[in-house]
Amino acid sequence: MEQINWYPGHMKKTKELIQENIKMVDAVIEVLDARLPVSSKNPIIDDLIKNKKRIVILNKSDLADETVTKKWIDAYKKNGVIAVPMNSNSGAGIKELYRILENLNQQMNANSVRKKPIRVMIVGIPNVGKSSLINRMAGKKSAKTGNKPGVTRGKQWINLKEGVQLLDTPGILWPKFEDQEIGLKLAFVGSIKDEILDLENIVLKLIGFLTDNYPELLKERFKLDVLKDTALEIMDDICDKRGFIQSGGRKDYERAAKTIMDEYRSGKIGKISIEKPLITDN
Ligand SMILES: Nc1nc2c(ncn2[C@@H]2O[C@H](COP(=O)(O)OP(=O)(O)OP(=O)(O)O)[C@@H](O)[C@H]2O)c(=O)[nH]1
Ligand SMILES: [Mg+2]
């Protein structure tokens, strides 16, 4: 993961750069994490995009709860936003994204004699999968167009099929890190560097979340018959089950925390969504 220090000067420069780039595109592809679409959204992106066409990508959908992701897609739709579930590793979702871009292209060129390619750019917070998505969209056959001074002001565009051009550098934006609750959720999925976190504490919070929301998955993964009342007791049980015991008999919480975190992030505990849309079905 790229290390970025979002000091105010850096945020201002980033904002200006993205504003410049947005002027050159017809649509913006906003990449969010399917497991936490609210917390993985940049706080000023809506201001930056304004009235430009926007396509929301719910990336890493392979790690999210499918039924929750469907609810998110519906919620976006109700608000007039097109959202697509995506797995940028496998490419599942790419076809749908292309279909949407093709439609936009047709709308854009409906009344013009000389067809123009639709130009898009990708934006999102660090580690959300922007580069993976670009690689997926570009595939093997794509070609970089090179610099065209004057026309594109030195920007590199990737020619994709169906009359789509993609800006080859994504816009990296900062997450909503002011809020502790959001910071915690971003830490769960690995969007905040672990070195600056108290991993054991984060994992206890994760165990608490899983106990409340996905108890069966937690039990199954760690072969626990029952879930005890506190996260610490559950962590103790996991240490016993996995043999995370130091010489002298003390539980190895550090190892337990690391293992639980790794297994959660790689999807081994299951497909788990952290945020659900606030809508009722009826
Ligand atoms: N499971 C899963 N992992 C993904 C997916 N997309 C990206 N990843 C992984 O997420 C990590 C970050 O992906 P990148 O494409 O580098 O993310 P980025 O947004 O370009 O990150 P920065 O350049 O740091 O801003 C990598 O380990 C990817 O393999 C996905 O759809 N599913
Ligand atoms: Mg990247």
Query: Which residue intervals of the chain bear CATH 1.10.1580.10?
Result: 198-265
What Rg value do the Cα atoms of the chain yield, rounded? 21
pLDDT at 282 over 60: no
Comparison of pLDDT for 141 and 44, the residue scoring more: 44
pLDDT at 16 over 50: yes
**What residue ranges line ligand 1, CB within 6 angstroms?**
1-2, 59-60, 62-63, 86-89, 124, 126-132, 172
Ligand 2 centre to CA of 132 (Å) is 7
Q: Nearest Cα to 171, choosing from 125, 132, 139? A: 125
Mutate to test the pocket of ligand 1, among 32, 90, 125, 132 (most ligand atoms within 8 A of CB): 132
Residue 134 CA, closest ligand 1 atom number: 15
The Cα–Cα gap between 7 and 9 comes to 6
Residue 128 CA, closest ligand 1 atom number: 19
149 pLDDT tier (thresholds 50, 70, 90): very low
Fold for 198-265, please state it: Conserved Hypothetical Protein Ylqf; Chain: A; domain 2 (1.10.1580)
Bridge partners of 123? 30, 171
- Residues, Cβ < 5 Å to ion ligand 2: 131
Q: What's the pLDDT score for residue 279?
A: 66
Query: Which residue intervals of the chain bear CATH 3.40.50.300?
Result: 8-172
Question: Whose alpha carbon is nearest atom 2 of ligand 1?
Answer: 60
Question: For the whole model, what pTM was predicted?
Answer: 0.93
Ligand 2 centre to CA of 164 (Å) is 20
Q: Which ligand is nearest to the CA of 169?
A: 2
Q: Which ligand is nearest to the CA of 31?
A: 1
As its CATH architecture, domain 8-172 has: 3-Layer(aba) Sandwich (3.40)
